[in-house]
Structure 1
Amino acid sequence: MGAEAKPRYLPAGESALVVEFGQTIDPALHDRVLALDAAIAGARFEGVNETVPTYRSLMVHFDPGRWTMQALAEMLDRLETAHSPRAAPKRWRIPACYDPPFGEDLAEAAAILGVREDAIVAAHSGALFRVYMYGFAPGFMYLGGSFGGLPAELQISRRATPRPPAPPGSLLIAGGQALITGVAMPTGWYAIGRTPVKTFERRRERMFFADVGDEIVFEPIDAATFEIMSAAAEAGDLVAREDTLQDSNP
């Protein structure tokens, strides 16, 4: 195989630099993002305040009194070539209810895609997802295929106009991505189910329970179980289950 393409360094205001590795949703690109993120964390550079990983880039917030854009880019370029290994990902099993009233847009999405509703549910609950980033609003967990794109049954374009707010925990699909919402927001995506799991919870020691790079599997539950687990989540329980990864099957 040929050498990996060099990243681009893009200023983002006066105190942030974006290191861009590509233009697509690709696990290999994301691995490079996470490798650089881990290398920066390990190096503990003074004046580098925060890093924000995304699908294909890493934003580095820095103190402009300590770094110039050029000096930081040069340092990161040298650091990136080391490809520091990252910690092994965790796999989370997340309960998901696709039954009414939680799969609000499931029938509409199925009609647009020309498939049965249960085909969408089977594809979503049968896929192995990767947490690519958090963004847009607190706890918005952006997911893509762990080993490539999403299944064909989940490939739907975004709406032309946003729909009314989707509640927290909504399971959304659009534009080759999947998402778990953290707060209620209007959206151009399709809500096909809901989870009682809180992706963002101030009362927990780990407010964001899953790390970027972790894996997600959705496990179908019925509406009655959703209500029971939702009450437990409101009381502070996580209700998601962490695998040991000894079970390699989704």
Structure 2
Amino acid sequence: MDWNTRIRPAGDRAMLITLDDPRPVQRLASALRVHAIAGVEDVLPAAETVLITMHSVNYGTQVRRELISLLDRLDQQPPQPDVSRGTVDENIVEIPVRYDGEDLPEVARLLDLSIPEVIASHTGTVWHCAFVGFAPGFGYLTSPDGRLTVPRRARARTAIPPGAVALAAGYSGVYPRGTPGGWQVIGTTDLRMWVVDRDPPALVRAGSAIRFVASE
């Protein structure tokens, strides 16, 4: 693939890589965290793009060259199977959830599952934060098999309370503050996803592993 057409300048100290699919976005973001490129200041994945910021404009040529090399290597490698499910990882963020969301029955209907099966599926996998956005501390969480893919609500709510645990378009997420939203709410948590004076403020960041745990 001609990666030059996929890598575009975003100002004088950043590059935007368009990949058109969340899976290669996550692979590239993970690879950049493991194999750091000299001159790269930050890696900011989104749904179909990765934004690379640099310490200086002087790194532009070198960073582009190394990005193309890394993308070529990833393109030639088959995706690695997800082995996190069922493993014990001290770095996994556990989020206790009361499965009391008002959209839970509708989610079960859409998936042709019982409510206990939806809960078991939501808690029975390790989710990964693909990227953050929408509001500070809101992580877009993906599961290995996309088993709980449901559409957004036909009509968004004008107010969703902080701590609402929700599903939409293959993602799960936790609302960090009260806000309008169109995701299907399946539960609530008391964990605070964003605290300004915490270090770091966000409980979940891009690359984080998350397990939801059913609570009373």
**TM-score scaled by length of structure 1:** 0.67
3-state DSSP of counterpart to 1:18: strand
Once residues 70 and 150 of structure 2 are traced to their aligned partners in structure 1, the CA distance between those partners, rounded to angstroms, is: 38
Once residues 39 and 16 of structure 1 are traced to their aligned partners in structure 2, the CA distance between those partners, rounded to angstroms, is: 18
Structure-2 residue corresponding to 1:171: 165
Matched to 2:17, the amino acid is: V
Give CA-to-partner distance per residue, 1:95-137, whole Å, 9 cap, x none.
11113xxx12212322333432222112111222112111121
User: Structure 1 residues 12, 149: CA separation in 2 closer, same or farther (over 3 Å shift)?
Assistant: farther
Matched to 1:136, the amino acid is: F
Gaps of 5+ in 1: 223-250
Q: 1:175 Cα shift?
A: 0.9
Matched to 1:150, the amino acid is: G
Once residues 188 and 14 of structure 1 are traced to their aligned partners in structure 2, the CA distance between those partners, rounded to angstroms, is: 36
Gaps of 5+ in 2: 75-88
User: Structure 1 residues 6, 221: CA separation in 2 closer, same or farther (over 3 Å shift)?
Assistant: farther
3-state DSSP of counterpart to 2:22: coil
Task: After TM superposition, list the pairs within 5 Å mapping 1:62-141 onto structure 2.
Answer: 62=54, 66=58, 72-78=63-69, 90-99=91-100, 103-141=101-139
Matched to 2:93, the amino acid is: W
User: Structure 1 residues 65, 216: CA separation in 2 closer, same or farther (over 3 Å shift)?
Assistant: closer
* Percent of paired sites with the same residue: 27
Pair 1:34-2:30 in alignment: yes
Assess if the C-alpha contact under 8 Å between 1:89 and 1:215 holds in 2: no
Structure-2 residue corresponding to 1:24: 21
Q: CA RMSD in A?
A: 3.0
Structure-1 residue corresponding to 2:208: 214
**TM-score scaled by length of structure 2:** 0.76
**Number of matched residues?**
200
Which residue, out of 51, 59, 72, partners 2:51?
A: 59
Q: 1:172 Cα shift?
A: 1.0
Matched to 2:209, the amino acid is: E
